[in-house]
Each structure stands twice: as structure tokens, then as C-alpha cells.
């Protein structure tokens, strides 16, 4: 077992391209404004930022951009950092051929999910402009062609957005530059738009595919949180994916679910719903870190105690048929964390967001009604 708690293989053999063209090691690394991350050359992974990052990791220094993995490990999860070391353990500050590539083609997106921002969503741009928070800015779109990148060793490709199925032409062009028979493809989609026939055919040509549809609540809870999506429309598209690929063993359907202070009360119901209605779909669990007011620790202490008591019982009976570990166990750990925000901020931000979008929060997220009107110290 590697005892270096800082070391990670991503800065050696991976890269993630952000909507604005920044090149960072992985999806969890912060979206920094460091100009050195925007080097568009044959090998951006040899910029000063990357070299210093690898040096600090080899020395075992804590990395400020790696807090998400450190927190996962503290909560008993296998972090991306730990997983990366099962494939390669770096010993020298020299990059390896690119094996893992994540690409955000742009921030073009038709949704403005409550935990997202204009950096990843043009719909959020519209909302921010209308609310006077920013001046109008166009679509964030990098001009990476990848023609000068060595993609010959890439075996893992992850496509995120924005919404990748709104960028089908660029998506198709990227896939045509790869040996798809060697590619493990992960697609992160909001489930509202389907691929065209050409893209569908290319997807089916990959060695294996992880189709990851985001779903952060049941019925109108999802409609509030992932506005302006409609739960029933996303479910209809999920059923269409099943019809396409149910008997294709190389395509694995996944629901990505972010546990947060809005949907926490539906956690048990969500698990039951998926088990009954979509039993062949895996669940990939995540827990909100930004914005702080949506973290589980922001809930009132009495509510947290009730939830911890409830989930502790469910934890004992949970059968882990899913990709990530027991969601009740990790949720309990997140509820026990020292709060960064609080109930008043949670309520304030929820009201503000609902008013901006003319949404009736309490009639959409009905599990909140009793809590909303109680008084807490």
C-alpha cells in the first residue's frame, strides 16, 4: 500500500479540458484562473503548474486542489486518487502517455441546475444576466482540435458539458480521432436530449460505454433542482436508452445522483424507485460540496439528528448493488460535518432562486413543508 497520502496518478497520465480551455488533471481539480493552465501546445501537461503539482505530490505535500479526494478518504470512500494508484504509481516527475481524457466541449446547456453555474451552463448565463449579476457574455467554448495531441494511448474518455448532446458535431469529430475499439467511454448527460444516428453508431462502436444520466430527485423535486428539466421527460428518455441497449452488455446505464440538503428527505424513496422502476441501472452517488448552502451540514441540528437516526437503521439493511459505497453510511458522515453554512442561508438562497425562476418551492419539494415553518435557534 502506498503511504504517500498526496500522490495521485492523474497528473502523470490524465487530463481534463474545461469549457474555457483550461487543462487540469481531473474533474475534481478546482477551476483555477492560473494562466499556465491555458497552454495550448503539444503537451500542456508540462507547464509550470503541472510540473510543480507533480513535484509536491512526490514529496507528499498536501495539495489544495485535492480536498475532495481527501474528504472521501476521511469518510471511508475509495477516492479517485486511491483508485488511480491501482493502475500506476508515479516515481519520477515525468509524464506518461495520455491514458485518461475528460473533455468539456463547451458550457452550452439547456438546464440551470441549482448546484451548477454559468461556467458549465449557458442557461445559467441567461439567469445571471437577467438577475443583473453579470453582463452578457457568449458561450464559453474552447477551440481544442486535439489534432496535435497524441491520443494513440487513450483508453478512457469522459465527455461532460454543458450538455454534450448539444455539441454532437464536435463530439462526433473527437470520436473519429480515436480507436474506438480500445475506448472506454463515459458520457455525462442531463437526459433531456438524445444522440443523433451517427453519434449513436459511434457510441456503440466503443469497447464499452458508461451512459451516466443525472437525476437529483423524484418528480417535481428534480424539476426544481434541475430546472427547467421535467422528470417525466428524463424518465421517458431513460426508457428509450433501455430499449436501445438493454441487451448490449458493453453499454452500462448509470444514474448520477447528488445528495444535497434539498433532496435528502427523498433518499430512501429514490433508492426504492430506482430498484423498482430501473433495476438494471446502477447508481453513482455524489455528495454536494458547492454551493456551501446546499451541504447536508447546513440543515438544523434537530433535523440532522433525526436523519442520522433514520439512516443508521437503513444502513444496517442496505444491500450494495450499486457502483459507489453505501449511500446511507456516507450521508451520515456528511451530516456530522462541521457546518460551513446554516439553515437561514439555505432558506434564504432557496427562496431567492425560486423567486427568480417563478417556482413554487414548497409545492414542488413537498418534503420541506413541515421543516420550512418550524422555528430553530
CB neighbour list of residue 275: distance below 8 Å, 6 or more residues apart: none
State the pLDDT confidence band at 377, using cuts at 50, 70 and 90. very low
CB 294 within 8 Å of CB 264: no
pLDDT above 70 covers a percentage of the chain that reads 93
Is residue 361 a part of any domain in this protein? yes
The grid coordinates of residue 187 equal 458520457
Asked if residue 261 is part of any domain, the answer here is yes
375: confidence class by pLDDT, cuts 50, 70, 90: low
User: What CATH number is associated with residue 368?
Assistant: 3.80.30.10
Question: Is the predicted pLDDT of residue 316 greater than 60, yes or no?
Answer: yes
* Average pLDDT of the residues of the chain: 90
Lowest mean pLDDT among 110-124, 129-143, 327-341: 129-143
Confidence of residue 138 (pLDDT cuts 50, 70, 90): low
In a domain, 199, yes or no: yes
pLDDT band at 201 (very low <50, low <70, confident <90, very high): very high
* Residue 119 within any structural domain of the chain: yes
CA distance 51 to 58: 11
Helices 327-335 and 267-277, axial angle in degrees (round to 10): 160
Q: What is the pTM of this model?
A: 0.88
> Which residues lie closer than 8 Å to 105 by C-beta, 6 or more apart?
19, 141, 142, 159, 161, 162, 164, 167, 170, 171, 174
| CA 219/CA 221 separation, integer angstroms | 6
**Distance, CA of 24 to CA of 47 (rounded, Å):** 11
Number of domains, the chain: 1
Is position 152 within any domain?
yes
Share of the chain above pLDDT 90, in %: 69
Give me the half-sphere count of Cα atoms (radius 13 Å) on the Cβ side of residue 284: 14
pLDDT class for 142, splitting at 50, 70, 90? low
Average pLDDT estimate for 12-22: 88
pLDDT, tens digit (0-9, with 9 covering 90-100), for 275-292: 999 999 999 999 998 899
Q: Is residue 346 part of a domain?
A: yes
Per-residue pLDDT of 83-129, as tens digits, reads: 999 989 999 999 999 999 999 988 899 999 999 998 889 999 989 98
The answer on pLDDT for 39 being more than 70 is no
Query: CA–CA separation, 108 vs 288, rounded Å?
Result: 22
When pLDDT is averaged across residues 309-324 and rounded to a whole number, the result is: 76
Looking at residue 18, its pLDDT comes to: 85
**Is position 33 within any domain?**
yes
358 burial (CB, 10 Å; 0-12 / 13-18 / 19+) is exposed
**pLDDT (tens digit per residue) in 66-82:** 998 998 888 787 899 99
> 28 and 68 in contact (C-beta within 8 Å)?
yes
Domain that holds residue 260: 20-373
Judge whether 14 lies within some domain.
Answer: no
Amino acid at each position: 500500500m502506498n503511504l504517500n497520502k498526496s500522490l495521485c496518478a492523474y497528473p502523470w497520465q490524465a487530463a481534463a479540458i474545461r469549457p474555457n480551455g483550461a487543462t487540469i488533471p481531473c474533474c475534481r481539480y478546482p477551476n483555477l484562473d492560473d494562466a499556465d493552465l491555458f497552454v495550448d501546445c503539444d503537451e500542456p501537461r508540462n507547464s509550470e503548474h503541472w510540473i510543480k503539482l507533480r513535484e509536491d505530490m512526490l514529496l507528499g505535500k498536501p495539495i489544495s486542489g485535492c480536498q475532495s479526494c481527501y474528504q472521501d478518504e476521511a469518510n471511508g470512500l475509495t477516492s479517485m486518487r486511491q483508485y488511480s494508484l491501482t493502475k500506476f504509481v508515479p516515481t519520477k516527475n515525468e509524464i506518461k502517455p495520455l491514458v485518461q481524457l475528460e473533455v468539456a466541449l463547451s458550457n452550452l446547456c439547456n438546464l440551470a441546475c441549482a448546484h451548477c453555474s454559468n461556467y458549465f451552463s449557458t442557461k445559467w448565463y441567461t439567469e445571471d444576466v437577467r438577475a443583473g449579476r453579470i453582463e452578457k457574455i457568449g458561450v464559453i467554448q474552447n477551440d481544442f482540435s486535439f489534432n496535435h495531441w497524441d491520443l494513440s494511448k487513450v483508453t478512457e474518455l469522459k465527455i461532460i458539458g454543458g450538455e454534450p448532446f448539444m455539441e454532437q458535431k464536435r463530439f462526433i469529430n473527437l470520436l473519429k480521432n480515436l480507436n474506438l475499439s480500445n475506448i472506454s467511454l463515459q458520457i455525462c448527460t442531463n437526459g433531456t436530449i438524445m444522440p443523433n444516428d451517427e453519434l449513436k453508431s459511434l457510441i456503440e462502436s466503443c469497447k464499452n460505454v458508461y451512459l451516466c444520466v443525472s437525476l437529483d430527485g423524484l418528480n417535481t423535486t428534480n424539476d426544481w433542482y434541475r430546472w427547467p428539466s421535467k422528470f417525466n421527460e428524463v424518465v421517458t428518455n431513460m426508457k428509450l436508452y433501455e430499449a436501445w441497449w438493454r441487451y448490449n452488455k458493453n453499454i452500462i446505464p448509470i444514474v448520477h445522483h447528488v445528495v444535497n440538503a434539498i433532496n435528502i428527505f427523498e433518499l430512501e424513496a429514490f433508492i426504492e424507485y430506482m430498484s423498482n422502476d430501473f433495476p438494471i441501472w446502477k447508481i453513482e452517488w455524489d455528495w454536494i460540496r458547492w454551493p456551501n448552502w446546499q451541504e447536508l451540514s447546513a440543515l438544523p441540528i434537530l433535523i440532522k439528528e433525526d436523519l442520522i437516526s433514520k439512516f443508521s437503521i437503513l444502513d444496517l439493511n442496505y444491500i450494495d448493488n450499486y457502483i459507489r459505497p453505501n449511500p446511507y453510511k456516507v450521508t451520515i458522515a456528511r451530516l456530522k460535518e462541521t457546518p460551513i453554512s446554516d439553515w437561514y442561508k439555505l432558506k434564504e438562497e432557496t427562496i431567492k432562486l425560486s423567486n427568480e425562476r417563478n417556482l413554487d418551492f414548497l409545492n414542488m419539494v413537498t418534503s420541506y413543508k413541515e421543516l420550512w415553518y418550524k422555528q430553530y435557534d
